[in-house]
Structures are given as structure tokens and as C-alpha cells.
């Protein structure tokens, strides 16, 4: 079912986030996973499991991918990317892992 132009990211609770390949490549870790040589299941199915990232964190990460894509090279005023304080630490750990 995986279309080449999209990537599925699966959270700890099994939620699937279907995002554009281009958006996923905001994360260097994901980009490397998807473009690495060899027959990894990740590369073939376009599905990556993150058993350590919970659903709200992964959703925030995906929102950030799109935010980043939209406002990179954007001449307009860039709005703030809102992060709720209670998820900040987990989000920091996820973004560190994803190299984002």
C-alpha cells in the first residue's frame, strides 16, 4: 500500500502518520534510513517504526516537518512554532534522535 512519495511513521501506540517523503527528509535520521543502500524493510515499505516515540510527540514532530518546509526560504514573517511545556522534554529527545 505504501506509495513511494509518502512515508509512514508508526508511533509507540501503533498510530500511523502518513507524510510526504519530502517532509520526512527534514529529519536527517529518516532521510538516511530511507536512502541507505541495501534491502532494509524501512526502505522497501516506506514505513518506519518508532517504538520509543509516543503519538503526541510524533504528531508534533510531523507538524514541525511541515512547518519547516513551509517557512524555509520564506520571506514573510515566520510565526512561532508552539510547543506545550509538558511535552518539551520528550520532544527534545525525539528531535535529537531524529537529527531534526
Partner 1 sequence: MSMYVRVKRQKQIFFLHVEPSETVLEIKQKVQALTEKPADDQRLFLDGLNLDDAKTLAEVKVENDAVLALAYKIDEEAGTWEEIDIHTIDTVDEAKA
Which positions lie near partner 1, rule CB under 8 A?
1, 3, 6, 13-20, 23, 55-56, 59, 62-63, 65-66, 70, 82, 84, 86
Provide the minimum distance between the beta carbon of 28 and partner 1 in the complex, in angstroms, as a whole number: 19
Cα(89)–Cα(60) distance, integer angstroms: 13
Which grid cell sits at 73?
526560504
Provide the minimum distance between the beta carbon of 38 and partner 1 in the complex, in angstroms, as a whole number: 27
Cα(53)–Cα(12) distance, integer angstroms: 6
Provide the minimum distance between the beta carbon of 17 and partner 1 in the complex, in angstroms, as a whole number: 5
Amino acid at each position: 500500500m505504501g506509495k513511494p512519495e509518502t512515508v509512514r511513521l508508526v508511533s509507540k501506540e501503533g498510530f500511523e502518520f502518513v507524510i510526504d517523503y519530502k517532509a520526512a527528509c527534514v529529519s536527517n535520521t529518516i532521510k538516511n534510513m530511507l536512502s541507505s543502500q541495501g534491502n532494509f524493510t524501512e526502505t522497501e515499505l516506506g514505513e518506519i517504526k518508532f517504538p520509543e516515540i509516543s503519538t503526541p510527540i510524533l504528531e508534533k514532530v510531523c507538524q514541525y516537518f511541515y512547518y519547516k518546509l513551509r517557512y524555509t526560504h520564506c520571506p514573510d514573517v515566520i510565526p512561532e512554532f508552539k510547543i506545550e511545556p509538558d511535552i518539551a522534554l520528550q520532544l527534545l529527545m525525539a528531535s535529537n534522535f531524529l537529527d531534526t
